Structure 1
C-alpha cells in the first residue's frame, strides 16, 4: 500500500489528520476517526452468478477467510455507544487471499459522503472546528452547510441507532469498476446488508444503553451463532455519475449479490489487531478497479499515514 505519487494528496492527507487530532485530541495507538471498534473473524462465500460481474479471486473461490472491524464515528476511543456522534457506524472487511495478499471493503452506515473531494472535506472539518458553542451565528459550519447542499443533506440524513451492529446496513462511499472474465465492466457501489434485517431503537431505548452496549452485544451474539451479512452491489446505469460520492443513484438500479459474510468469533487480541491493521479503500485486486472518484487516493493516503502513526505509538 504505497503512498500516492502526488505530493498534494499527501499534504492534504496530513492536513486532514491534523484537524482530526485537534477535533478529538491525540489518542496514540487509535485511529483519528472511527477510533472505537471491535474485530471479528469469519468466512466469505460467493453467490452463484457473481462471476458475471467480476473475476476477483474471492468471487471465483469457494470461500475466503475474512477479518472485519465494526466501529463508532469520531476519534474518541471511549465514546459511549449511545452518543449521537457515534453514528454513522463503520464496517471494514478484509478478504485474506494469501499471506500478505488481501483486498478490502470500507463502508459506513450512512449512504453517501458530505463532500465531493478532500479539499472540501478539509473546509468542512475546519468550519466545524471553528464553530464552538460561544461562536455567534451564523457559525462557520452553518455558512459552509448553507453553501454546500450535499454536505447539508448528509448531516441531515437520519442516523438511527441499531439494536445491534449486526442489524445495520453499511454502504461503500465510492464506486468501483467491476470486470468479469470476458472483459465486460460495470461501475457499482457496495451495500452490506444484515441477513436478519435492519432493527433500530427508540430514543428512550437508546438513552438507557450502556457505554459499551453495542460491542458487548456483538460479543454475546456471535457466541450464540454466526452473524451473517449479504455483500451486495448497486450497479450504475449508463450515464450515472460514478466519480462523485455525494451523488446517489436511483433505487431502481440493479442490485447484484456478491456473496455471504459469516462472522463466527471475536478476535481475542482485538485491540492489538486494530492497532496493526491498515485497511485500504482501493481494491488492488484483479477484477475490481478504482473509479475516478478523487476521494479514493486521498482516503488511502490518510489510512496509511494514520496507520503508521498507530503502529509507531508505544503500547
Structure 2
C-alpha cells in the first residue's frame, strides 16, 4: 500500500474527510476573485463557485446560515495585551491594556443541525474592538496547517473527496489518486493526523493558518503566524453528552470560570519560511512572542444582537498588520463575503445551539 493510500484509508474513517467536514478547513479562493460568472471565455474559479461547492458538500443550503461552519455559539470577553507585541507591530492592539472582543466557536460543515463529531474541524472567529474605531477579525481553526496550497487545489480536493452517490461516502480510490498527485496535501495530512483532538473546545489550540506581516513604528516588517494555546487545563465542568456535546461542554466550562488562551506570535525568517503556502509549517525553533491573553467569560445563543451577522473576514486588519502573499487570504475574504451576501437576504433562524439560562 502506498503512503497516499494509507492516508486515504485512515482519513476515510475520520470526520475530517466526511462530507460536512471536508470543506470546513476554510473557504478558499484566489486574489482578484469576481462575484459574477464569466459566460464568455475560459472557465474561471470564482467565489460563487467555491460557495456553491460548500453548499453541495453540505447537501444544500440552510437559509440564513453560514455556508461553512454553520453550527456555532457566540462568546464574549476581552484581549489582555501585555505590551510585548509593540516590538513587532505598531498596531494599537499590542499596547498594554484590555480590549473588548466577541467571537464564535463553530464546527465544520454547512448543516447547523448536525451532531457534534469529536474529529470535526473546530473554528474560532474573533472580532477585537480597538481604539479609533479599528477592528481586528480572525478566523482560526484547530489544525496547524491547511490541506491546500492554492484555491484551485481546495476546489479540486472537495470534488475528489465528495461522497460517491452510490455509497454516500468518499471513494477511497479517487481520494488516493488525488493525494498521490498533490504531495503538499499529503504532507499536510501527515501533520494533521498526529494526535487525537482534545476532548473539549476549552482545551483546544487554534491557529491562524495563513502568514501575515507585522510592521513596527519604524517601518520595519516581519512575517508572522499566530496561534491561541489554552493557558491551563480548564476547571472541572459537568460532562456533556448528546448531539450538542461539544457546545454544551463549552457553555458549562465558561459558567465555571472564564476560559483563557495565550496569544503566541511566531516570527518567521524572511525569504526562508514560506508565507505563500499554508500547507507548510514553519520550523519549531522559530522565535515566539507571547503578546497577551484572550479571555472568554460570556456565552450566548447566536443571534442578531451578537455575532450572527458578523463576517469574520481575515482581511479586516488594524494599521500595523497586513496580509502576506498567501493566495488563500484574498480568496477566503471573497468567499466569506459571498456567503454573507447569500445569507443576508434570508430569514435568520434561531441558533441551532441554544444556551439555556443558568
Is the structural similarity TM-score above 0.5?
yes
1:256 aligned to 275, 284, 289, which one?
289
Which residue matches 1:202?
none
1:217 aligned to 249, 254, 258, which one?
249
Kept in 2, the 8 Å contact 1:168–1:198? The answer is no
Q: Secondary structure of 1:167's match?
A: coil
Residues 197 and 225 of structure 1: is their aligned pair in 2 closer, same or farther, counting only changes over 3 Å?
Answer: closer
TM-score for the superposition, normalised by structure 1: 0.87
Distance 1:154 1:33 in 2: 21
Distance 2:53 2:314 in 1: 21
Which residue matches 2:209?
173
TM-score for the superposition, normalised by structure 2: 0.78
CA deviation digits over 1:27-60, x for unaligned, max 9?
1111121111111000111123220011111112
1:189 aligned to 203, 214, 225, which one?
225
More helix by percentage = 1
CA shift for structure 1 position 235? 1.1
CA shift for structure 1 position 15? 0.8
Kept in 2, the 8 Å contact 1:166–1:194? The answer is yes
Residues 119 and 63 of structure 1: is their aligned pair in 2 closer, same or farther, counting only changes over 3 Å?
Answer: same
CA shift for structure 1 position 9? 7.6
Residues 118 and 9 of structure 1: is their aligned pair in 2 closer, same or farther, counting only changes over 3 Å?
Answer: farther
Question: Are 1:110 and 2:136 counterparts?
Answer: no
Question: Are 1:58 and 2:93 counterparts?
Answer: yes
Distance 1:5 1:255 in 2: 29
Distance 1:235 1:64 in 2: 23
Kept in 2, the 8 Å contact 1:72–1:90? The answer is yes
Residues 7 and 224 of structure 1: is their aligned pair in 2 closer, same or farther, counting only changes over 3 Å?
Answer: closer
After superposition, the CA RMSD in angstroms is 2.6
Structure 2: any 5+ residue segments left out of the alignment?
1-29, 37-44, 349-358
CA deviation digits over 1:59-93, x for unaligned, max 9?
12511100111111111212222354xx2211111
Which residue matches 2:69?
34
Q: Secondary structure of 2:137's match?
A: strand
Aligned length: 303
Distance 2:146 2:70 in 1: 19
CA shift for structure 1 position 314? 1.5
Question: Are 1:313 and 2:346 counterparts?
Answer: yes
CA shift for structure 1 position 271? 3.5
Distance 2:260 2:186 in 1: 33
2:310 aligned to 231, 254, 277, which one?
277
